[in-house]
Structure 1
Amino acid sequence: MLATIVIFISAFLLFQVQPLLAKSLLPVFGGGAQVWTTCLLFFQTFLLAGYCYAHLLVKFLDIKKQQIVHLSLLLISLLALPLGLSDSDIKEQASPEFALLLKLALSVGLPYFVLAATSPLLQSWQSQSLNSKVYKLYSYSNIGSFLALLSYPFVFEPWLTLSAQSWAWSLVYGVFVLLFAGFIGLALKQNNYTQAVQSDEIATSLDKRLPLWLLLSACGVIILTATTSAMTQNVSPIPFLWLLPLSLYLLTFILCFHSAKVYQRWFWLAVFAFSSFIGLMLFFIGSQLDLLSQIVLYSTVLFSACMICHGELEKTKPHQSKLTQFYLMMSLGGALGTAAITFIAPEIFTLFYEYPLALGLVLALFIYSLISTEQFAKNRNMVLVAGGVLVLLAPTFIWLNSQFTNHDTLRLRNFYGLLSVKEVSINGQMERRLIDGTTSHGTEIIEPTYLQGQPQSYYRFETAVAQLLNSQFNGAQVGFIGLGAGTLAAYGKHRDNYTFYELNPNVVATAQSHFSYLNNSKAQVEYVVGDGRVQLQKQKEQGQANRFDALVLDAFSGDAIPMHLLTLEAMQLYLSQLKENGVLAIHISNSHLDLTPLMRGLADELKLKVHFFETKAKQAHEHNTHWVTLTFDEQAIASFKHLQSPWPNQKPTFIWRDDYSNLLSAL
């Protein structure tokens, strides 16, 4: 019983710390979905290290020495408490992926490592002390992980600040170490372990199913991370949307390893065969669906895919004597799958092609698993059906992809996301659009040529931001957090100075090479590459303050909101960079989130005058745009204040802080 409790708590802590640290890191690395993917790589890699360490202990030491070594390491890990991000400086020239991984390793590396090793070690010991089904302990471990993920967005995040969460985690970790020490003490006192009776050849030989275990576990993680990226490219990478896919992933482990009856091959093959075509459609047109529909459909595809991957793992699991070898291969597959998504996919794919490829890989591995078993004759029909679905998926994908990319003139991908330039004909006019994820971040008419250079889309002449920039005196100093296609540079006048802060270097290069707004601007245009808030803070520390007549915040990737740009502390920083009568303009147009209560809440807290401006679309291809202005001096917006709109609702206000934010409040 005590072993089950220790395994449960270790798994709970192992997965509770993941969203906590990832959320803490978002402001440092720009708030993109790739932050979570890179965090997953760290967690998978240290899980692999923990499993490898457990396997080596079991292989080379007797049980008593294993317990003493692991308990010693647990006690040493207490020195890393309380939990918190490392304050160590990381060279700015380091890649964001490397910098993020290093910060995690310095902050939680040792505690996470020993937690990862706890479950396989305890299961190995139990297999030699009792005639028990230790694979059920694995399902209990996954239940702990599942509850940790499920509780975070609904229990911990809404009620506790990040610092309170860190202290709570550290306290429970200390309790866990005490419980583990008690377990070791009882075990050493009773000394009732029996050595495994299998021969050395059986216990240490490499199983022929190793490649299958490796590939199935890698495929499960690939479909998990690809689904998470797809779900969060248009909504902030909030813990809820991180943890829902990961929870479903773990749930399939729980179901498959708790009872072999849950995974019925014919049933799950039929479900996934249907789901794979839904997944293919989602890849191309998912952004046109509402948020709830996207979540339900993506979750269905992910769940059925993971049921096949993990169901096949359960059906091919080895004897208990090779338990740590089995877990080692599973964790290695998980680490390799996440590494492929983090490092390889962005280098070779300009879209999230790993998602449709993962759908095909599930079917291919299902066929491989059936063929590699001794009951192939009995499974021949399933092999034919799975092969038929795979054959149909390939041409469907090729045709849809050709339609989707037909208008692309440029596609780029890096750590910060997807970027493409499309040229489309609208009402007889040829438009060039900058697409970030699946959302337009700037449009320019290139034919007829006399319309070239005129601001379009969210920045057209009637919008509040256009009115604000036009109202500025000649020689104004204006800052912009977020560049897009550089459309707002078109409003620059002689002697104006426009400073654009842009996180993604690909955006700067594309705006300069494919759009004319920046090159033709009358203003003096400067660029600062890096997170806008971080760069403004650095400039403030260097003595640059109170210098902008207007500051425009438009740094959203797709419909995703980097929450660290909208906290109380961020607003205070923006105000410190504005002149006394300066204006802060924030673009809050969004398909999924209502940010108006947040804007009113922040204005009330900071004693600012806040106004809401809605510019309705006059043509079918235009957008309704929502801008908010905040200022201490209403005279600064006197020339266009009469264009303000009534607030769309009177929902209760709220504010976000660096130490506390809950995006569910804005959904």
Structure 2
Amino acid sequence: MTHPLPSPSPNPWSFLPFALTIFTSAFLLFQVQPLLSKQILPWFGGSPAVWTTAMLFFQTLLCLGYLYAHALAALPSRKTQARIHVVLLVLAALLASRVLPGAELRPESSDSPVFQVLLILGASVGLPYFCLATTGPLVQHWFTSTAHASSVFRLYALSNVGSFLALLSFPYVLEPWLEQQEMGRLWTAGFWVFALLCLPVALGVWQNKTPAGAAHSDADEVVPRQAASALKPSWVQRLSWVALPALASLVFIATTDQISHDVAPEPRLWVSTLGLYLVTFILTFDHPRWYRPKLFAFLTLILLLVASGLSDIPRWLGIDWDYGVNEVRWSHYALLFVVCMLCHGELYRRRPVDTRRLTEFYLCMSIGGAFGGLFVTLVATQFFDDYLEWLMALVLVAVLACHVLFRVEGQARGRVRHAAGALIAVVMVALLYAMQNPWSWREVRKDDRTEIVLDQVRNFYGTVSVKERRYVSEPERDDRVFFSGNVTHGQQFLSDALRHVPTTYYARDSGIGETLQWAMAQKSSLSVALIGLGAGTLANYARQTDAYDFYEINPAAVRFAQDWFDNLSTCKAGEQNILLGDARLRMEQLPKNKLYDVIVLDAFTGGSVPIHLLTREAFQIYRNHLKPDGHIAINITNAYLNLYPIVKAQAEVSGMAYRHKYQAVDEVRNVRRNLHFIMTNDQAYLKAYPSVNRAMRDEQGRLLGNEPYDQPGLRLWTDQFSSIAPIVR
């Protein structure tokens, strides 16, 4: 009697080519997105619409790549699959030789910017990115015919590890040290490495055998055909493949926007939230041990209440506790993590048993992931005046968590459990609406004042609003405040006596106020450029002999300044113009003989500053339109970034002298803490107004010294190099 020979044990090294290929493709996918977006940002005025449009391009191309992988996997011959993909790979490698768009692609007009962004990205990286997007699902499909087919979903977890590392490396490793062109050449080299890794995998399939000692041939199937037909996913299951990643994507984007709205748009915010989003993919697709449905459903319900009613919970418990920025931020981070674990964990539980459905599964996932971003971009931004998608996301998450928590496998107690889950879901939705009522904050009554939101608009440039504050005991302090997001960009008293007194960052004894008054004392007429309109407060400095140009990129800000404040309508300037669009592009288009006495840069108060206005090339444009004895005054007040060393370096490379002035808070005059930096060659001005630092004192009020502003050793910002990592406070 003969015994069959034992099957050879799987060669562990056969896993390596697939793993390296998928890891490299995911890493390059997340490297090229910020690289190209940053490259073309100055071409379109640094508008946030550039990032939005670029994300739309990459998400759409990712879906098309997954669709291509699904269609290719449906071909009966894997030889044909491999041949087609090798041709695509070679073409993509040839086109990847120059990934950064050159000057010939720079648009000459501002017409149809969305179409122009899509065209530039498509011409620069279209086919290479498409090829990278196909790699994950297609290589995993080929991997299912190896002896390690049961570990196929770990490859997806590995791809998210690559994405996560790329996400961290761009702002913290590459950007602080390399210029754009250097990063572009490195990315091209990385793509060629990826192609070299992918070729052996594809050629192994081409030759009708699996690479590196695989145990299965092309004819082998992990699931028999008859069993596979019985395991065909239902339409409900397919719908969950789209809905669950769509909800996770919506929560990710809504959480990011909500933290920006409640705290500030910090530069590290996207890295933190997107990193958490990717980590949940890594954990849930690595092994079932990391996801416990009941536990994460319960934690989700608890954190929904905490993140939504953080300010009310201590009061309900009779505790006198004032929550701050850190509590808000970390409660939202925790909620994002558990929600994405819940969505992605449920998605993994619903994965196809038949691995031949793998490409269909990933195609549905990519459609769902893109849906969340598209909803915010195309629907919420266009039709909502506030972040209403946050409340919508919370309601959907509450329903999902209740479903998972009260889900039963059997039918004996199913009706009771389902009824209990439905009741809890209704209660949760009611509580969320009570705590997150998006209209409740529009009129807030306090002991000493009433605050009413008069107008609010949301567009590609963010959310701008006007709030009126009326004081019960001090009606002379009644005012209106202009907000961009949560950052104050202007304020005006309502009383006739104080109506046109400059306030907030622009008091007469501020750095900018002193500069304008000095220039007025030296010349009978001034030509002034103001970059950043706000409430138009600086218009109050104008005389009849002066000419004022206001540069503003957001049309909603212009309307608000004209409709709700009268600084512009009562401006005494004999000539005043509002130039709508990016200030750098508009100023670059000015005639060469158009020169200003004072250029005021006032667009850097928030956490997401327009970097392209602070580069060497930008300051060259400013100097081209500045008189020899003119002044460039910059409002570098910022709670999140130390911009002092950036503008100091620009002054030094320009050969201009400079001063700075810190001004403390004065609540009586509605003066906010501010720091201004002034560049000029007017030596008399510099002698008359020396620099003023912020004094640092201990708890007893003893002087410890001046606040250090400078950070020696930072590289000069250019259009090819800029990094905010070293200057984050």
TM score, norm. by length of structure 1: 0.92
The answer to whether the Cα contact below 8 Å between 2:44 and 2:110 also exists between their aligned partners in 1 is no
The answer to whether the Cα contact below 8 Å between 1:266 and 1:382 also exists between their aligned partners in 2 is no
> Which residue pairs with 2:436 in the alignment?
397
Give SS of 1:158's match.
coil
Counterpart CA distance in 2 for 1:36 and 1:290 is 30
The answer to whether the Cα contact below 8 Å between 1:279 and 1:356 also exists between their aligned partners in 2 is no
> Which residue pairs with 1:167 in the alignment?
185
| CA shift in 2, pair 1:291/1:28, >3 Å | farther
1:633 aligns with 2:633: no
The answer to whether the Cα contact below 8 Å between 2:244 and 2:347 also exists between their aligned partners in 1 is yes
Deviation at 1:568, TM superposition (A): 2.2
| CA shift in 2, pair 1:581/1:408, >3 Å | same
> Which residue pairs with 1:151 in the alignment?
169
TM score, norm. by length of structure 2: 0.84
> Which residue pairs with 1:307 in the alignment?
341
Deviation at 1:171, TM superposition (A): 0.5
| CA shift in 2, pair 1:476/1:262, >3 Å | same
Which structure features the higher share of helix residues? 1
> Which residue pairs with 1:180 in the alignment?
198
Q: Matches of residues 613-632 of structure 1 in structure 2 within 5 Å? A: 613-619=661-667, 622-632=671-681
> Which residue pairs with 1:216 in the alignment?
244
Q: Over residues 34-88 of structure 1, what are the superposed CA-to-partner deviations in whole Å (9 max), with x where a residue is unaligned? A: 5444433322211111111111111234211111111111111123222113643
> Which residue pairs with 2:582 in the alignment?
531
Q: What is the letter of the counterpart of residue 335 of structure 1?
A: A
Q: Over residues 393-444 of structure 1, what are the superposed CA-to-partner deviations in whole Å (9 max), with x where a residue is unaligned? A: 122112x741355511111111101010110025422211111000111111
1:119 to 136, 147, 154: 136
The answer to whether the Cα contact below 8 Å between 1:33 and 1:237 also exists between their aligned partners in 2 is no
> Which residue pairs with 2:717 in the alignment?
656
Q: Matches of residues 569-608 of structure 1 in structure 2 within 5 Å? A: 569-608=617-656
Q: Over residues 218-277 of structure 1, what are the superposed CA-to-partner deviations in whole Å (9 max), with x where a residue is unaligned? A: 111112222333445676674x43222212111101100111121112221232223223
1:365 aligns with 2:400: yes
Deviation at 1:147, TM superposition (A): 1.5
Percent identity of the aligned residues? Answer: 34
> Which residue pairs with 1:519 in the alignment?
569
> Which piece of structure 1 moves more, 437-446 or 466-475?
466-475
Give SS of 1:208's match.
helix
Higher relative contact order (CA 8 A, sep 6+): 1
> Which residue pairs with 1:250 in the alignment?
278
Counterpart CA distance in 2 for 1:628 and 1:650 is 11
Deviation at 1:165, TM superposition (A): 0.9
The answer to whether the Cα contact below 8 Å between 1:480 and 1:498 also exists between their aligned partners in 2 is yes
> Which residue pairs with 2:8 in the alignment?
none
Counterpart CA distance in 1 for 2:281 and 2:44 is 32
Counterpart CA distance in 1 for 2:453 and 2:357 is 51
Counterpart CA distance in 1 for 2:311 and 2:73 is 44
Q: Which has the larger radius of gyration?
A: 2
Q: What is the letter of the counterpart of residue 481 of structure 1?
A: I
> Which piece of structure 1 moves more, 226-235 or 510-519?
226-235
Counterpart CA distance in 2 for 1:160 and 1:306 is 34
> Which residue pairs with 1:452 in the alignment?
499
| CA shift in 2, pair 1:559/1:658, >3 Å | same
Q: Matches of residues 66-215 of structure 1 in structure 2 within 5 Å? A: 66-81=81-96, 82-85=98-101, 87-88=104-105, 90=107, 92=109, 94-130=111-147, 131-189=149-207, 191=209, 192-194=217-219, 196=221, 197-199=224-226, 201=229, 207-215=235-243
Deviation at 1:157, TM superposition (A): 1.5
User: Which segments of 5 or more consecutive residues in structure 2 lack a partner in the other structure?
Assistant: 1-15, 210-216, 313-321, 445-451, 695-705
Deviation at 1:360, TM superposition (A): 2.0
| CA shift in 2, pair 1:648/1:151, >3 Å | same
> Which residue pairs with 2:75 in the alignment?
60
Counterpart CA distance in 2 for 1:587 and 1:271 is 44
1:465 to 509, 512, 524: 512
The answer to whether the Cα contact below 8 Å between 2:605 and 2:636 also exists between their aligned partners in 1 is no
1:15 aligns with 2:30: yes
Give SS of 1:335's match.
helix
User: Which segments of 5 or more consecutive residues in structure 1 lack a partner in the other structure?
Assistant: none
CA RMSD in angstroms, aligned pairs only: 2.7
> Which piece of structure 1 moves more, 554-563 or 140-149?
554-563
Counterpart CA distance in 2 for 1:487 and 1:470 is 15
The answer to whether the Cα contact below 8 Å between 1:439 and 1:559 also exists between their aligned partners in 2 is no
Counterpart CA distance in 2 for 1:531 and 1:147 is 34
Q: What is the letter of the counterpart of residue 423 of structure 1?
A: E
> Which piece of structure 1 moves more, 522-531 or 130-139?
130-139
> Which residue pairs with 1:416 in the alignment?
461
The answer to whether the Cα contact below 8 Å between 1:263 and 1:307 also exists between their aligned partners in 2 is yes
Q: Over residues 181-235 of structure 1, what are the superposed CA-to-partner deviations in whole Å (9 max), with x where a residue is unaligned? A: 1222233335222254325855876543122221111111112222333445676
Counterpart CA distance in 1 for 2:231 and 2:136 is 19
Deviation at 1:461, TM superposition (A): 2.1
| CA shift in 2, pair 1:618/1:557, >3 Å | closer
The answer to whether the Cα contact below 8 Å between 2:46 and 2:582 also exists between their aligned partners in 1 is no
Counterpart CA distance in 1 for 2:45 and 2:605 is 10
> Which piece of structure 1 moves more, 414-423 or 563-572?
563-572
Counterpart CA distance in 2 for 1:259 and 1:641 is 65
Counterpart CA distance in 1 for 2:544 and 2:323 is 44
> Which piece of structure 1 moves more, 587-596 or 19-28?
19-28
Counterpart CA distance in 2 for 1:244 and 1:7 is 23
Q: Over residues 83-102 of structure 1, what are the superposed CA-to-partner deviations in whole Å (9 max), with x where a residue is unaligned? A: 11364355746454444333
> Which piece of structure 1 moves more, 159-168 or 413-422?
159-168
1:507 aligns with 2:557: yes
The answer to whether the Cα contact below 8 Å between 1:613 and 1:626 also exists between their aligned partners in 2 is yes
Q: Over residues 624-667 of structure 1, what are the superposed CA-to-partner deviations in whole Å (9 max), with x where a residue is unaligned? A: 111111112222455x5157447631543333222111112111
| CA shift in 2, pair 1:205/1:295, >3 Å | closer
The answer to whether the Cα contact below 8 Å between 2:79 and 2:208 also exists between their aligned partners in 1 is no
